[in-house]
Amino acid sequence: MFGINTSKPGAIDWLVVGLGNPGKKYEGTRHNAGFMAADALAKRLDIRVDRVKFHALIGDGMCGDQRILLVKHQTYMNLSGQAVDEIMTFYRIPPERLLVMCDDISLEPGQLRIRRKGSHGGQNGMRNIIDMIETDQFIRIKLGIGKKPHPDYNLADWVLSHFTAGEMKEMGQSAGNAAAAVELIVNGSIDRAMNLYNS
């Protein structure tokens, strides 16, 4: 489906995507953990994610010796694959050079899980990406947001709820760890990233 990215000047080596919902009303909500990680990475690498293209905010910069395109899609979560598919097609980025950061209700706030590939795990943004690019063979970093307070709690209401002050402190730490993990992964040290940051 995708051609192999070349090493010509200006080529993008990695596509790094944070998942969330755009707009002020969703800032600080559980579903925006991927955006939080993207913001932490942007700050760490001094990348301005402010160009509007491909239904997304994008910015590019160097991460070690790898050029990355950092993306915060501006569709809602359920259509996040639209931006990812367009960018991968335009830049000819293969799935093995895609890294997605997203929320995970099976992990507590502050916890991370790095996976080389896998199913969407019920996360609708991941589901849409897999459907759009027609493969689940890409790296993902999952940031814990905590499970529903009780089984009858509506899942949509839960993921769109805001973190407590204490949880936000934990999320700041996990977003920073996710950013550090991205640096290791794109520079060829995924095993070290998993050993250091997997909860």
Strand partners of residue 102: 142
Establish whether 31 is a catalytic residue.
Answer: yes
Neighbours of 34 (CB within 10 A): 31
Among 31, 55, 150, 162, the active-site one is 31
Residue pair 69/42 in contact (Cβ under 8 Å)? The answer is: no
How far apart (Å, rounded) are the C-alpha atoms in residues 44 and 63? 10
H or E element that contains 84: helix 80-91
Backbone φ, ψ for residue 126 (5° rounding): -65, -40
Active site residues: 31
